[in-house]
Structure 1
Amino acid sequence: MDGKRKEIKPLQQALGKLRGLNNANRDNRGGYVCSSEEELNDVIKRMQYRIQHESSTLNEEKQIIREIKQLEGTRDKVIANAAMRAEVQKFVGEKDAIQDQVKVRTPLLLYTSSIGVDLDGVRKDQQAIKAKLKTLETEKEAINNVIASLEEELCVVIEKRDKVYHKIRELRNKREEGNTCFYQNRSLLNDARRLAASKDVNALIELSTSEVDKFMSEWNSSKAFREVFSMCRTGHTFI
């Protein structure tokens, strides 16, 4: 915005000089001052023509001569004004061009100033948004910490649950093992009762011998079998 003002300032100064030159076209006594030496010469020639070719009274001729002298007295000023005008016009162009430039650049300056005000508002909004984001980030971090703590507790709970499930499976397997032996023994006793009731001694002896051989084979080969048998003898029960 300051740059635009600096750019417009010389244009305004040049326009002021042109206006000053226009005002200078009248001398201190209120007489007219020509805008160029060419114009001055032309005016003087017309006055001299009047003296030479027109019928004028003596007083009128004297008046014309006085006016010619007055115009001659402004020649230096006319030459100086013309030189200044040429310099100004060379720098910035004609008066209308200067005015057009000022008219074009002034709204631009005002628009730039308006943009500066809008940018201040945008900066304030950005600062407010940044502050809000910082607050949200802090809240997010706190929530993440709570979630991490809950996840740790969940892992501990899941680990305990898995241990309980594993223990339950072990107990169920032991129960099934005990039940298997129970059902096998009950089936064997039912077979022995059936053979005894039918007085089939040979079949009963064969069944007894076969079961004894199985028992001794399991006893000799399986430590777990011996432990289960010992538990049964001491009165332990299975689930």
Structure 2
Amino acid sequence: MATWIRFLHETGDSTLINASQVLLQFHVEQRQVEVFALGAPETLKHPVCVYTCEYPEQVTAAEELIMQALGNDQPVTISLDILDEQAEYLNHVNGMRMVLQLLHQGKVRIPVENDLSEDDLFERDPDERQSELSHFEEMLHTYLNVPEDALRRAYRKEGDDVPFELSQDHEECADHGFHEYWVVSARPDRNYKIRDSYDELAKSLIEKEGYGMASERGAHAHPSPQRPS
């Protein structure tokens, strides 16, 4: 059975191409997805359509969406709106995956960015570049029942009730040189609850990728109980 890809144009028109007769070029740096129809040589000179994406993640989303559809022999529709939704979904998948990794292994490493003050390290201004540590802190608050300044509290070592422990480590290897890391550790005396709106995503990843919680270290994540229908 043929698999079809429907490409929606900004004008509202659409182009339907058999998946076996389409060439897609994904340009992450240029933030473009170019669609070519195979056949006569002249059809490869000009793309059928070009999606100019706002974010590089949308290019990755297009590739993921199409590969998944082709792998399942399913038709798929592509538009900028769909790519935006898929990019947002993939961002949540990647974020939840990191949080589950922390709960599964008990700790996760974040690259140290040198020469950052505390204010810069935990910068939340949308117009400013966010540090890796601040970005992970935002993930933790998004997916778990922890305060939005959970890692800042750990950084300042504010009492015994901080949600996580934060330390530094390093490694040195011949190929990549010396690297420093922040080590975010789950506390053995804390129970972490996944927020209701991300229960299903967490359960799906736990089932598909085999994440277990670090119960032997005392860290637990509890998806919300199923509500009766």
TM-score by length of 1: 0.21
User: Relative to total residues, which structure has the larger strand share, 1 or 2?
Assistant: 2
User: Relative to total residues, which structure has the larger helix share, 1 or 2?
Assistant: 1
TM-score by length of 2: 0.22
Greater relative CO, 1 or 2 (CA 8 Å, sep 6+): 1
Which has the larger Rg? 1
